[in-house]
């Protein structure tokens, strides 16, 4: 299974063209969109961005998306907020929004809610797609503080996913391998950044790119 991972589009409608180009050129099976599709709305921007994409899209909202976004994107993509899917035999669980921030953005969830929503849909060895990163992993802001979700980290420790995909923290993009789990933040798609990920019988390989490269 090969997929294109994007996050943090923030309303940049130019991403649609290069997403289609990369998806076709790399012959990906599907696209995973990790939230902040809009920049504080409106919902129609997400439809404009995702609608013309020519591969199946599995999408979650980010903290800068409206609360109504999951329902809206179901018109043009597969809504994964609080939901699961089977991709080539792998269990995929999704949750959008973020843990609380200092900015009081529209789609924030308290830690108790994050855990309560994720636990019932999680399975051992799953692929986890979230907007907010787990605490301490791909979650450092320029001041040096870690701002990820402790509940997502708890889920990771309980269910040992093979792959955790997150965005949210634009500066802390990259790939980490910790205790059998691969953690990926592809960087902000609004700046042309993305990841290509392949999963083959539980083995994960990934590459990070920028369309400007």
In order along its 213 residues, the chain shows pLDDT tens digits of 999 999 999 999 999 999 999 999 999 999 999 999 999 999 999 999 999 999 999 999 999 999 999 999 999 999 999 999 999 899 999 999 999 999 999 999 999 999 999 999 999 999 999 999 999 999 999 999 999 999 999 999 999 999 999 999 999 999 999 999 999 999 999 999 999 999 998 899 999 999 875
CATH architecture of 2-210: 4-Layer Sandwich (3.60)
Side-chain-facing half-sphere of 138: CA atoms under 13 Å: 27
How far CA 60 is from CA of 50, 69, 88, 129, 159, in Å, comes to 12, 9, 20, 8, 20
pTM comes to 0.97
Cα separation, 173 vs 185, in Å, equals 5
Q: Which residues pair with 5 in a beta bridge?
A: 32, 195
Cα separation, 211 vs 159, in Å, equals 34
How far CA 196 is from CA of 44, 127, 199, in Å, comes to 27, 15, 10
Q: Around Cβ 140, how many Cβ atoms within 10 Å?
A: 16
């Amino acid at each position: 299974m090969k997929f294109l991972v994007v996050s943090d589009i923030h309303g940049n409608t130019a991403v649609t063209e290069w997403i289609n180009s990369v998806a076709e050129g790399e012959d990906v099976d599907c696209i995973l969109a990790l939230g902040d599709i809009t920049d504080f709305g409106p919902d129609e921007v997400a439809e404009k961005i995702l609608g013309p994409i020519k591969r199946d899209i599995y999408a979650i909202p980010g903290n800068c998306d409206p609360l109504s976004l999951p329902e809206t994107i179901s018109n043009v993509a597969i809504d994964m907020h609080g939901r699961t899917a089977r991709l080539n035999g792998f269990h995929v669980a999704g949750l959008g929004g973020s843990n609380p921030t200092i900015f009081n953005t529209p789609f924030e969830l308290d830690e108790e809610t994050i855990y309560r929503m994720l636990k019932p849909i999680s399975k051992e060895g799953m692929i986890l797609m979230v907007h907010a990163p787990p605490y301490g992993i791909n979650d450092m802001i320029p001041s040096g503080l870690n701002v990820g979700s402790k509940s997502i980290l708890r889920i990771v420790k309980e269910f040992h996913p093979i792959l955790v995909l997150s965005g949210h923290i634009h500066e802390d993009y990259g790939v980490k391998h910790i205790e059998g789990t691969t953690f990926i933040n592809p960087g902000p798609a609004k700046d042309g950044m993305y990841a290509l990920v392949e999963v083959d019988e539980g083995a994960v390989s990934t590459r990070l790119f920028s369309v400007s490269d």
